[in-house]
Structure 1
């Protein structure tokens, strides 16, 4: 794992110190809200000084290359920099279910997931807690952690932050949600999502490349992109698939997801207050295949 090499040379500790400087004023995500989080103020996302999680454990519902036999060692972090009105995990993203974990506890969680046979450490919505996570990673490395690190995010990431994560993250698992700024503003309360996410995906691919599997089909390194198909084609699936093929890689691994369902505040938006149809899902798959016959579709 790349983070182990950085740990051994002292570079991981140096980068952790650099990340802590981004906590006050907070500049970890593209919102750059400027909250004084070390002093206890919470950012626009909801995150404060200490890491907060809603749950952790082996997860068998992730993409097959991330699961293996032991499951993905998933840690669900509370809060999110987006405000998706249809959030499928709104209890966590809005901080309804959460509890605080200090450095030692978070490190112990990582090590526990390794002990019970998980094939990776899957950090779900980690961006606003990167300094706290890296603090725990330093402790976990000292105590024998050696699993691939998965960065499971919304795609809304600062390039400056991603560059500091180079060689720390083994597997990037980003969403690519929308092709249109107006749609992003309407459903996720952020207008610059499309361009920010596109730039982020290109940087992630630069760092880790295509998904690499071991002899058992378990992911060791690389980029795996998620795209949630939405009712009425509002996500702009065809345009996003063309972008990935032309500007990320025509060999990309992509999960075209069909599990959208109207939850949280989706009832306020009649056009997305329903599940997608089989026809809409098949059209999304066809758009991906048309963009590149070499995509690895999950």
Structure 2
């Protein structure tokens, strides 16, 4: 807090849930009041998220795929959407809807932001994700539509369709679709976000 942090961002933390609960208990006993953000893949069970009830202030899950075939091809998780639907429902129960709030600087203090990273050539699946989220939760959540997909060197050897960035017209089509169906609580990205700044150095610095 003294160094100006806005929150504590717990990234890919699923395997540490018991330790997280214990650590937050200890922090609160010491009068620690920053929001805790749970930054995750969406591939969690509802029971896992239930363990965090009362501990997490902002949930930041992905909703990567709706299609079992696409989820299986890229992540070997044909049941991805089933788990994402269950886990996000529990997140919204805990922190969504009328519980959502922002501070005077526009920084979320409580709520749910669901991210969707658009993949090249899969506009129909992306539309299915956005449709599901809006039809299910309306303005109870915020939807972040991301265009920052960055093809890693060599990926085209196994997945040729993923060997290029999102075309601007693909992203514009998805954003326009979200607006057309009524999404207002949303975030979009502008410009060429798919550059090296989104790729970690993987040199263990800062770990």
Q: Structure 2 length normalisation: TM-score?
A: 0.83
CA–CA separation in structure 1 for the residues paired with 2:26 and 2:140: 36
SS class of match (2:131): helix
CA–CA separation in structure 1 for the residues paired with 2:152 and 2:44: 25
Q: Give the match for residue 194 of structure 1.
A: 81
Q: Give the match for residue 278 of structure 1.
A: 168
Contact 2:151 2:165 in 1 (8 A): yes
Gaps of 5+ in 2: 189-207
Q: Deviations over 1:143-191 (max 9, x none)?
A: 3321111000001111111112111111000001001011101101211
Select which of 160, 170, 178 maps to 1:288.
Answer: 178
SS class of match (2:135): helix
CA–CA separation in structure 1 for the residues paired with 2:75 and 2:89: 22
Q: Give the match for residue 177 of structure 1.
A: 64
Alignment of 1:61-80 (within 5 A): none
Contact 1:250 1:292 in 2 (8 A): no
Contact 1:156 1:197 in 2 (8 A): yes
CA–CA separation in structure 1 for the residues paired with 2:71 and 2:154: 15
Change (3 A) 1:133 1:290: same
CA–CA separation in structure 1 for the residues paired with 2:82 and 2:154: 25
CA–CA separation in structure 1 for the residues paired with 2:23 and 2:62: 25
Contact 1:224 1:252 in 2 (8 A): yes
CA–CA separation in structure 2 for the residues paired with 1:146 and 1:215: 16
Select which of 142, 155, 167 maps to 1:266.
Answer: 155
Q: Give the match for residue 9 of structure 1.
A: none
TM-superposed CA distance for 1:203, in Å, is 1.6
TM-superposed CA distance for 1:265, in Å, is 6.3
Contact 1:173 1:224 in 2 (8 A): yes
TM-superposed CA distance for 1:231, in Å, is 0.4
Select which of 89, 97, 106 maps to 1:217.
Answer: 106
Change (3 A) 1:190 1:145: same
CA–CA separation in structure 1 for the residues paired with 2:55 and 2:48: 12
Instruction: Confirm whether residue 203 of structure 1 aligns to residue 203 of structure 2.
Output: no
TM-superposed CA distance for 1:205, in Å, is 1.0
Q: Deviations over 1:194-226 (max 9, x none)?
A: 111012222211111144111221111000111
Contact 1:179 1:235 in 2 (8 A): no
Select which of 252, 276, 285 maps to 2:141.
Answer: 252
Gaps of 5+ in 1: 1-113
Q: Structure 1 length normalisation: TM-score?
A: 0.58
Select which of 138, 142, 165 maps to 2:52.
Answer: 165
Q: Give the match for residue 142 of structure 1.
A: 29
SS class of match (2:172): helix
